[in-house]
Structure 1
Amino acid sequence: MSISIDLSGQVAVVTGGGSGIGEAIARTLAEAGAAVAIADLSPQAADRVAKEIEAVGGRALGVPMNIADRASIDAALTTVRTELGPVSHLVNNAAAWAVKLFADHTPEEVERVVGVTLNGTMAVTQAALEDITAQQGSIVVIASDGARIGERYMSAYTAAKAGLLGFSKSLAREVGRKGVNVNAIAPGTTNTPGGAGFIEQAGGAEKLAKAYPLGRIGEPQDIANAALFLVSPLSSWITGQVLSVSGGFTMV
């Protein structure tokens, strides 16, 4: 007996797919057979990942997308529909952050972090929802374990991610009877370029790893594996849930 995940014929959009966790998710969904749109603020990063996926036999498209700009979202999704087809799965990974004590945040930084991370994610989801509903697909929101327990130096980011947990659960209740699954992944500290500032501020990966029962911080592939599960038929009776992928750091 064997179990396999085959996403052939399905289209997935991964925001922030040009690096880090988003890149790992895009590559993993492509390996499972999905046509993947890598949506990123950097067109160069999105195109790089797409070309590397295509070089190994996958189907991918890089699309520039600023999730803080609804016109940019709509233009990107129009390109996706034209080039790949209607969206089956959406992985909301793009975010903004500032690594500093909250007392040192400027009002502009708070507005940017919340505007991109929370409002931007809701805007992309709303823009893609008609497609996803028609395909009876899935939505995965990359949140944060900080949203569940709090995180020093990242108060605005953590607040925005906590908002995403409430959004994910509420949306799951709205669209479940239409055949759409909505779940969130809450990563622990993960070894990405974007997370480097926090890791350094906290004393380095080796020091952080001591707090994790499994003895290490996360890698992007750890999060990608969870995302693959949540868009696959293996999770067809799971919705409105928050999955901590954190090496046991958070057990709630």
Structure 2
Amino acid sequence: MIDFGLRDRVILVTGAGSGIGRAVALHAATQGARIAVVDFSEADADGVVTEIKEAGGTAVALVADVRAEAEVEAAVSRCEEVLGPLDGVVACAGISRPAPAESLTLEGWSQVIDTNLTGAFLTARIAGSRLLARGGSLVVVSSVDGLGGHAGRVHYSASKFGVAGIVKSLAIEWGRRGVRVNAVAPGPVDTPLLRAIHSDEALAGGILVRTPLGRLALPADQANAILFLLSDAAAFVTGTLLPVDGGLTAGCFNDEPLS
């Protein structure tokens, strides 16, 4: 495993109870970072902290709904009380609720926008204000759906396009104050949730054929990119949206045979 030089750094990860957030928390902990595992599910957060501690790492489980300003504020404050001043933040909490645009209710729209966009902003604003006191790195998890549209996910895509605006604006505001702000844009990631939604045949015909590297991303692929952005190796990287998609968004004709 690559050593990203994160030993003894305090890193807060939202949505850390599962998926990409969990992978980030576990990978950073193996590097010696002290991890605040923030999740809506107490059981999931506790489970990740148990894994980290059993491996000899340091972590605290914190329950918060990223849509609730007071809960995010409480989680960030508790993180610093227990682990020390923040060095890095990963805003990973998000949901996807596919629905045709013509039948998407305002409630359905708001659930996704409030979690993915407002939640990312609240995390960035509240945790970022702590980073401004001493410098650090903020990484927001976006999506390839923040680079292009996706049928049945108008609300999800809108939220991820919005994340790009947050990242680029904060990079400009905070760069001279010692805080770098970036995002990763994952393509489809091999998780139980993805497998539950798509059959092997659908994945092969709809995704893998369009992915130059010919496979789904693993959560660890996303975690490695995020840890790079948190690290000093990315000291001159800010305001960027990094696709971690196996080449899915490289072009329009990814599935064309050579001729």
Structures share fold, TM-score greater than 0.5 = yes
Contact 2:135 2:178 in 1 (8 A): yes
Equivalence for 1:119: 118
CA distance in 1, matches of 2:108, 2:82: 36
Equivalence for 2:244: 245
RMSD across aligned C-alpha pairs, in angstroms?
Answer: 1.6
Q: Which of structure 1's runs of 4+ aligned residues deviate more than 6 A? A: none
Secondary structure of the residue that 2:132 maps to in structure 1? Answer: helix
Query: How many pairs were matched up?
Result: 249
Write out aligned runs for 1:65-144 (5 A).
Answer: 65-144=64-143
CA distance in 2, matches of 1:51, 1:6: 23
Write out aligned runs for 1:92-241 (5 A).
Answer: 92-196=91-195, 199=198, 204-207=202-205, 208-241=207-240
Contact 2:16 2:45 in 1 (8 A): yes
CA distance in 1, matches of 2:21, 2:249: 22
CA distance in 1, matches of 2:60, 2:195: 27
- Structure 1: tracts of 5 or more residues without a match: none
1:54 aligns with 2:53: yes
Q: TM-score, normalised by structure 1?
A: 0.94
Contact 2:148 2:157 in 1 (8 A): no
Secondary structure of the residue that 1:218 maps to in structure 2? Answer: coil
The percent of aligned pairs where both chains have the same amino acid is: 36
Equivalence for 1:39: 38
Matched letter for residue 86 of structure 1 = P
CA distance in 2, matches of 1:198, 1:244: 23
Contact 2:13 2:21 in 1 (8 A): yes
Structure 2 CA distance for partners of 1:88 and 1:225, relative to 1, 3 Å? same
Structure 2 CA distance for partners of 1:205 and 1:7, relative to 1, 3 Å? same
Q: TM-score, normalised by structure 2?
A: 0.92
Secondary structure of the residue that 1:247 maps to in structure 2? Answer: coil
Contact 1:99 1:197 in 2 (8 A): no
1:199 offset after TM fit, Å? 3.5
Contact 2:181 2:238 in 1 (8 A): yes
1:217 offset after TM fit, Å? 1.5
1:85 offset after TM fit, Å? 1.1
Matched letter for residue 176 of structure 1 = G
1:7 offset after TM fit, Å? 1.2
- Structure 2: tracts of 5 or more residues without a match: 252-259
1:133 offset after TM fit, Å? 1.5
CA distance in 2, matches of 1:196, 1:16: 19
CA distance in 1, matches of 2:7, 2:80: 16
